[in-house]
């Protein structure tokens, strides 16, 4: 299997061992690893986001990990621009770029192109958020469907973030967010990629998630969150939604005990892993789905 001319993409649910597998893959194929996880870009949240350890970063050249401060916004567009540059640089060295992570939108932006949305004034966006808060997600979603019928079967009724985004785009531009999606251009062809999605039985994944939660506390995650909270990051920023932040903040305020905190983080992580799996089923249908037990067999073939 000759993959040296390809761009390798490795995805999978959280705690599925993607980062470790990417290192083995990179060693085998003379590759360099690029981060495709939206939360692992932030330097202030290493433990909570399960960023690769320093010893792993030394084994193989890694790019775009822990370089961005939480004080600044970092979008999918920012990531895509940097990634395209990194891919060119790595290929120029006759090496293979290997992207690894769990952020579906990052992979979709790379493989399908990034949607060019209109810039919406902050005051306008805040007014939509206030409207959402006033009406509640259920009523807001119904009103979104009236405003933009194309959203009916494409946005989950419980997905507040995507509902708000679709509503503000339609209200401001008079054009459906899904029409913007259709007009997107791409820099790559499907043949440029070798795409792997790691599948993991849910029962095994739950065990791994529970172990990871125990480990982050042993590694000092409470001090990391304590430091993060000093930045007073706006709750609307994506980084403020990192799983565990809210629970550990409550633990620090003594609103939760340690056992409750760990359990809530485990539950939210399991829910996130389920969402990733659902996304993969719908958005990654042409990826190679590989059972975690077959990963070593794959390495032998390349």
DSSP string, 145-212: HHH-GGGTTTS-TT-HHHHHHHHHHHHHHSS-HHHHHHT---SS-GGGEEEEEEE--HHHHHHHHHHH
Q: Which helix (H) or strand (E) holds 245?
A: helix 245-252
7-115+187-200+277-301 to CATH, choices 3.40.50.2300, 3.90.480.20, 3.40.50.300, 3.40.710.10 = 3.40.50.300
Kindly indicate whether the domain formed by 203-275 is annotated with CATH number 1.10.3720.10: no
pLDDT in tens, 182-209: 777 788 888 999 999 999 999 999 999 9
Which residues of the chain fall below pLDDT 70?
Answer: 1
> How does 181-207 read in b/e, with b if 16+ C-beta sit within 10 Å?
eeeeeeeeeeeebbbbbbbbeeeebbe
CATH architecture label of 122-182: Orthogonal Bundle (1.10)
The residues with which 7 forms a beta bridge, in sequence order, are 193
Domain coordinates of the chain in residue numbers? 7-115+187-200+277-301, 122-182, 203-275
Element (H, E) at 99: strand 96-100
The answer to whether the CB of 15 falls within 8 A of the CB of 206 is no
Q: State the pLDDT at residue 9.
A: 98
The tens digit of pLDDT for each residue in 101-114 reads 999 999 999 998 88
CA pair distance 74, 194, nearest whole angstrom: 27
């Amino acid at each position: 299997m000759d993959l040296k001319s390809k761009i390798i993409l490795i995805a999978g649910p959280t705690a599925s061992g993607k980062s470790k597998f990417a290192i083995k893959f990179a060693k085998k194929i003379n590759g360099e690893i690029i981060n495709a996880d939206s939360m692992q870009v932030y330097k202030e949240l290493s433990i909570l986001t399960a960023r690769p350890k320093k010893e792993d970063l030394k084994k193989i050249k890694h790019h775009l990990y822990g370089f961005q401060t939480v004080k600044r916004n970092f979008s999918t567009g920012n990531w895509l621009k940097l990634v395209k540059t990194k891919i060119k640089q790595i290929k120029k060295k006759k090496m293979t770029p290997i992207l690894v992570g769990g952020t579906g939108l990052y992979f979709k932006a790379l493989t399908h192109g990034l949607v060019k949305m209109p810039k919406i004034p902050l005051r306008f966006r805040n007014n939509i958020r206030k409207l959402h808060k006033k009406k509640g997600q259920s009523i807001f979603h119904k009103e979104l469907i009236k405003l933009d019928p194309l959203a009916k079967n494409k946005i989950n009724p419980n997905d507040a973030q995507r509902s708000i985004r679709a509503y503000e785009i339609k209200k401001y531009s008079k054009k459906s967010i899904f029409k913007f999606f259709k007009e997107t251009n791409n820099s790559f062809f499907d043949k440029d990629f070798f795409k792997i999605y790691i599948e993991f039985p849910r029962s095994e994944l739950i065990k791994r998630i529970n172990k990871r939660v125990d480990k982050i506390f042993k590694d000092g995650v409470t001090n990391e969150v304590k430091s993060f909270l000093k930045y007073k990051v706006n709750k609307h920023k994506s980084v403020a939604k990192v799983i565990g932040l809210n629970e550990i903040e409550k633990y620090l305020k003594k609103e939760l005990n340690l056992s409750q905190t760990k359990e809530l983080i485990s539950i939210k992580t399991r829910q996130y892993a389920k969402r990733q799996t659902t996304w993969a089923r719908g958005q990654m249908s042409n990826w190679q789905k590989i059972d975690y037990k077959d990963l070593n067999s794959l390495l032998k073939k390349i």
